[in-house]
């Protein structure tokens, strides 16, 4: 049985550690913020160059890009947080020690990654707020709808992150998941242009990528204030993905962890 008070204490320790690290390397934060502002400026002037006639999904192109790139980056970085947790422990030689503690291994990985998720959430809000205040991106949010889409998307990102961590334990190739999301999948998800512009075959494939529905749902809720009757399809699809992917990824992680322990390959990277 989980001791929630103990888990909360451990989470606070991890968050404090990561916060102190961020403060120590605050120059990196400043550079990241400057990079985000430069990216927003590039998207803003790109949308101006294309002109107001291009309105994907019935919204101006700049807010379309703002939500698509911001939320997609948040989800991919969330997946990477789990992979980075395992890789760092392998490289430091602490993974075997961590996996022998009383805390279940899945909880340990989750606690270590959740702090990064918190930081990524702050970055996402900064990105959206900067786009709103500096470049006048119009938002008409359905707050409750945004929260529901956000939570479901977060669950899916956690599931994919756990799968990436399992792949890292099994064959030391967890980075392949992040690479696929960062390099090979983004154009199928409607990050920078609507999936309706894709050929029929690719459009069919995009429907099986959960992030496609995350972006569609978040844009509808945040930019158009869509009611739940409109968001229902994306919510149902994301819920189904969550119900399948999360337990599946946990089962795969448990299996690969047991196998790595037996084979003595926990610290291989």
DSSP line for 103-118: S-HHHHHHHHHHHHHH
**What one-character DSSP code corresponds to residue 183?**
I
Specify the 3-state DSSP secondary structure of 204: helix
pLDDT the model gives residue 266: 57
Q: pLDDT digits over 73-127, tens only?
A: 988 888 888 777 777 777 766 666 666 666 666 676 676 667 667 777 778 888 8
Q: Please give the C-alpha separations between residue 7 and each of 59, 79, 159, 161, in angstroms, as whole numbers.
A: 43, 21, 20, 20
d(CA 15, CA 236): 33
Q: pLDDT digits over 158-201, tens only?
A: 888 888 888 887 776 666 766 776 677 888 898 888 898 889 99
Q: What is the end-to-end Cα distance of the chain in Å, rounded?
A: 32
The model's confidence at residue 35, banded by pLDDT at 50, 70 and 90, is confident
Whether residue 133 is predicted with pLDDT greater than 80 in this model: the reply is yes
pLDDT the model gives residue 235: 96
Whether residue 15 is predicted with pLDDT greater than 70 in this model: the reply is no
SS3 content of the chain, % helix, strand, coil (to 5): 80, 0, 20
Q: How many residues does the chain have?
A: 269
Q: Please give the C-alpha separations between residue 229 and each of 1, 136, 224, in angstroms, as whole numbers.
A: 39, 28, 13
């Amino acid at each position: 049985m989980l001791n929630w008070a103990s888990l909360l204490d451990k989470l606070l320790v991890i968050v404090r550690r990561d916060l102190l690290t961020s403060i120590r390397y605050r120059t990196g934060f400043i550079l990241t913020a400057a990079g985000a502002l430069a990216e927003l400026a590039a998207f803003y002037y790109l949308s101006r160059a294309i002109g107001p006639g291009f309105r994907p999904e019935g919204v101006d192109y700049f807010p379309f890009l703002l939500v698509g790139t911001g939320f997609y980056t948040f989800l991919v970085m969330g997946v990477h947080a789990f992979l980075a947790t395992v890789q760092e422990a392998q490289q430091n030689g602490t993974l075997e020690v961590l996996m022998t503690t009383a805390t279940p291994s899945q909880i340990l990985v989750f606690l270590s990654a959740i702090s990064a998720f918190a930081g990524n959430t702050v970055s996402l809000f900064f990105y959206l707020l900067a786009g709103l205040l500096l470049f006048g991106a119009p938002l008409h949010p359905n707050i409750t709808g945004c929260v529901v889409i956000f939570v479901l998307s977060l669950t899916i990102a956690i599931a994919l992150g756990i799968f990436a961590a399992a792949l890292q334990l099994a064959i030391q190739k967890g980075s392949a998941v992040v690479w696929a999301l960062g390099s090979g999948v983004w154009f199928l998800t409607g990050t920078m242009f609507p999936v309706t512009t894709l050929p029929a075959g690719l459009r069919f494939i995009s429907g099986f990528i959960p992030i496609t529905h995350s972006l569609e749902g978040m844009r509808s809720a945040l930019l158009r204030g869509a009611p739940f009757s409109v968001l229902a399809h994306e919510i149902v699809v994301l819920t189904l993905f969550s119900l399948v992917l999360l337990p599946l990824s946990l089962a795969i992680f448990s299996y690969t962890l047991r196998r790595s322990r037996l084979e003595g390959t926990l610290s291989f990277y």
